[in-house]
Amino acid sequence: MTGLPSTIVPTFKSAYLVHGDDHGRIAERRAKLRLLAESEGGISGAELFEGEESTPENVALALASMTFATGRRFLIVDGVERWKDKEVTAELGALMADLPPDTTVAFFGREEGRAKTPAKLVEAVKKAGGDVATESAVKPWELPKWVRAQGQRLGLELDQGAAQTLVAQVGERQARLSRELETMAMELGPGPHHVDAELIEERSASSAEHKVWELADLLVAGDGAGATRSYLELRAQGERLPGMLYWMTSRVRQALDVVYRLDAGEAPGDIKRTLRMPPKAADRFLSDVRRTDVHSMRNALRRLADLEVDSRGGSAAEEDTSAIRAILAIAP
């Protein structure tokens, strides 16, 4: 197996090292290798070295020990970016250079700042005849070029303006950019298709707004579980909380206004004609609003205002915790 490909092949090299600052891609390759290991030898097909267990000494000890597992033996070693050159002993290098033909050891290093994979480990993997792969995140200023290259593989001919607009609309996460390109390719059908900035603006903006409107509608409907799932999906796709809060607050204010109008005796049909949304969406929105009341919508607005204050200056994890608490308080 060369470079840990995504397809299962019958041969493997004795050693692999995957390192760099593209943590998502590294995690993806690690997951694929573990899946391959378990398909070869079952749940026990992979020996994992993580956290405090991930040390050169422990890996060397495991390589020197016999195993009673059947089939190919896989050792998956995480966190090598924390290792130091002086810790990568000659013993480990010697063991790797003389691995049994049915053994594969794979090292993974998620580098950041001063945390770098030691040069001696790189050298040891190469001397063992293994593969060394560097997964580097694309720099922000290189993303438009990267987007155009990815799009071309999918039959999408994006001009420079289109690529820049997509990055501006979707964000700098390569995984989400890839998903947007793949979705666009499926929607447009077999290519090639020329894609300009206008098409990107129409499609990406409306798509992002639509997803956040769905979250806001789930809040109005009192569906806390659905709203929580929707929120986490949006966050996983790279949506930022401040932008989401804007749309959520706008929808709740709209719901409060409709509650007031209904309480004042205005006919639902007359209200529907003033709602700037498709007819079916307006019917669903009115149905949800008629099941709530002024107190609930006022409370929702207060909770969203508090969330906006709480989220300022906090970490992403703190933001998510505060947001989920607010969602469940609004829609228990």
CB of 4 within 8 A of CB of 18?
A: yes
Residue that is last in its domain, among 118, 134, 150: 134
Structure tokens at 241: 């909380």
Tell me what pLDDT residue 261 has: 92
Q: How far apart are alpha carbons 271 and 57 in whole angstroms?
A: 72
Tell me what pLDDT residue 178 has: 82
Structure tokens at 252: 């709740």
Q: Which residues pair with 112 in a beta bridge?
A: 115
- Identify the burial level of 135 via C-beta atoms within 10 angstroms of its C-beta, where 0-12 means exposed, 13-18 middle and 19 or more buried: buried
Q: Within a domain: residue 9?
A: no
Q: Which CATH number is 126's domain given?
A: 3.40.50.300
One domain, residues 185 and 214: no
One domain, residues 273 and 233: yes
Tell me what pLDDT residue 209 has: 62
CB of 46 within 8 A of CB of 163?
A: no
Tell me what pLDDT residue 18 has: 94
One domain, residues 216 and 281: yes
Reference 280, options 289, 291, 272; nearest CA is 272
Tell me what pLDDT residue 4 has: 52
**DSSP class of 104:** E
Q: Which CATH number is 263's domain given?
A: 1.20.272.10
Reference 219, options 329, 143, 76; nearest CA is 329
Q: Directed axis angle between helix 160-170 and helix 174-188, to 10°?
A: 120
Q: Within a domain: residue 34?
A: yes
Please write the tens of the pLDDT for every residue from 20-33.
Answer: 988 878 888 888 88
Tell me which residues of the chain have a pLDDT lower than 50.
Answer: 1-2, 5-10
**Residue 21 falls in which region: left (phi positive, over 0), alpha (psi -120 to 50) or beta:** alpha
β-strand pairing of 103-110 with 15-20: parallel
Query: Which residues contact residue 13 at a Cβ distance below 8 angstroms, ignoring those fewer than 6 apart?
Result: 1, 2, 104, 129, 130, 131
> Which amino acid is it at 162?
A
Q: How far apart are alpha carbons 166 and 197 in whole angstroms?
A: 8
Q: Within a domain: residue 144?
A: yes
Structure tokens at 261: 């109008």
Q: Within a domain: residue 292?
A: yes
One domain, residues 111 and 215: no
One domain, residues 167 and 244: no
Q: How far apart are alpha carbons 218 and 210 in whole angstroms?
A: 12
CB of 33 within 8 A of CB of 74?
A: yes
Q: 216 φ, ψ to 5°?
A: -65, -40
Q: Which CATH number is 187's domain given?
A: 1.10.8
In whole angstroms, how far apart are CA 175 and each of 20, 53, 106?
A: 16, 30, 23
CB of 103 within 8 A of CB of 63?
A: yes
- Identify the burial level of 270 via C-beta atoms within 10 angstroms of its C-beta, where 0-12 means exposed, 13-18 middle and 19 or more buried: exposed
Tell me what pLDDT residue 251 has: 87
One domain, residues 212 and 326: yes
One domain, residues 78 and 175: no
CB of 60 within 8 A of CB of 88?
A: no
Q: Domain range for residue 154?
A: 140-195
The model's pTM: 0.48
One domain, residues 82 and 180: no
**DSSP class of 139:** P
Q: Which residues pair with 133 in a beta bridge?
A: 18
| Number of domains within the chain | 3
